[in-house]
Homo-oligomer: A and B are copies of this chain.
């Protein structure tokens, strides 16, 4: 049995998360039972939602239990199988968690899926052709539902969700404007991801200033917005919305540490007859095949070239995760385990 390194949640953060909230442990993988598959993880995914799970608070998902392996998406290869549908060498995507190996029940719905790496690199199944890509697809197509010619915006534009959002919106004939942190990310959003414009929120000290920049970048106003961050960005966007704008709320990263994060002017929801809707992509599994097909085609044709930031080795995960929460990554944050 191979030795398996794991990262567990050792304590819950009070305020900002730190590396001390995680602990490394090591144990042999258990012998397989009938119907089980042993997967060796090549990459694991780091995502903002994990910060929410670290809290012991009411949310859309149960909290990450203490002293158990941190939850998370993984891609890898089957190294041992006692299930007829999976063979040694198969490339698979699943929810293996922060560890080098996982034992998966091959029959559990949605837990393990074979993927084709002919046109799409394996790691992209954790990003553009995985949960983040489907997240962008759901918010754009099911909540914002833009018409060609409309202007749509997205915060955290250079990230895994934002980059997929840009390609999906351009494919629908929209003007797409990103909001990101720093000139390097903004240049990437425009030059490599093909956004029409990108605003560096770090140049603005308050939402009114950011809102003025949005007015320049969105001369026809904002018809749809995808919110990954909350706070100042959302306040600034609300001021620039057109009548009947739609806002898909996917993330409130700035509020995860527990500080209050009010919406300054909710009366704009009435004044502009806005729809603001929160969603969790895992609650809409029936739409994933359709979304993944479109995202795979965009990657295969080169219209979506997602960037990745890759940390090396399981031990690097906590620091890489904390960096992600501070926007230090560039594109999809992964940890390479082989």
Residues of A within 8 A of B (CB): 58-60, 230, 234, 243, 249-252, 255, 260-267, 269-280, 283
B265 touches A262 (CB 8 A): yes
A261 touches B266 (CB 8 A): yes
Q: List the B residue with the shortest CB-CB distance to A58.
A: B271
A267 touches B255 (CB 8 A): yes
Q: Which residues of B contact A58 (CB under 8 A)?
A: 271
How distant is the Cα of A60 from the Cα of B270 in the complex, in angstroms?
Answer: 8
B273 touches A267 (CB 8 A): no
State whether A276 and B273 are in contact (beta carbons under 8 Å apart), knowing that A261-B267, A263-B263, A267-B255 are contacts in the complex. no
A260 touches B264 (CB 8 A): yes
* Contact of A269 (CB < 8 Å), options: B249, B271, B283: B249
State whether A270 and B252 are in contact (beta carbons under 8 Å apart), knowing that A264-B260, A275-B275, A277-B275 are contacts in the complex. yes
Q: With both chains docked as a complex, state the minimum distance between the C-beta of A267 and any C-beta of chain B, in angstroms.
A: 4
A262 touches B270 (CB 8 A): no
Q: List the B residue with the shortest CB-CB distance to A279.
A: B273
Most buried by B among A249, A266, A274, A279: A266
B278 touches A271 (CB 8 A): yes
Q: List the B residue with the shortest CB-CB distance to A231.
A: B266
* Contact of A60 (CB < 8 Å), options: B243, B251, B261, B266: B243
Most buried by B among A251, A269, A272, A275: A269
16 A-B pairs within 8 Å (CB atoms) are namely: A60-B272, A249-B269, A251-B270, A252-B267, A252-B270, A260-B264, A261-B267, A262-B264, A262-B265, A269-B276, A271-B278, A273-B277, A273-B280, A275-B277, A275-B278, A276-B277
B264 touches A59 (CB 8 A): no
A274 touches B277 (CB 8 A): yes
- How many protomers of this protein does the assembly include? 2
How distant is the Cα of A264 from the Cα of B255 in the complex, in angstroms?
Answer: 12
How distant is the Cα of A234 from the Cα of B264 in the complex, in angstroms?
Answer: 14
Q: With both chains docked as a complex, state the minimum distance between the C-beta of A256 and any C-beta of chain B, in angstroms.
A: 9
Q: Which residues of B contact A269 (CB under 8 A)?
A: 249, 276-278
How distant is the Cα of A250 from the Cα of B270 in the complex, in angstroms?
Answer: 7
A283 touches B277 (CB 8 A): no
Q: List the B residue with the shortest CB-CB distance to A283.
A: B273
How distant is the Cα of A234 from the Cα of B263 in the complex, in angstroms?
Answer: 12
How distant is the Cα of A264 from the Cα of B278 in the complex, in angstroms?
Answer: 16
Q: Which residues of B contact A243 (CB under 8 A)?
A: 60
Q: List the B residue with the shortest CB-CB distance to A245.
A: B278
Q: With both chains docked as a complex, state the minimum distance between the C-beta of A124 and any C-beta of chain B, in angstroms.
A: 26
Q: With both chains docked as a complex, state the minimum distance between the C-beta of A152 and any C-beta of chain B, in angstroms.
A: 18
Q: List the B residue with the shortest CB-CB distance to A262.
A: B262
B275 touches A230 (CB 8 A): no
* Contact of A270 (CB < 8 Å), options: B265, B273, B278, B283: B278
How distant is the Cα of A318 from the Cα of B30 in the complex, in angstroms?
Answer: 79
Q: Which residues of B contact A283 (CB under 8 A)?
A: 273
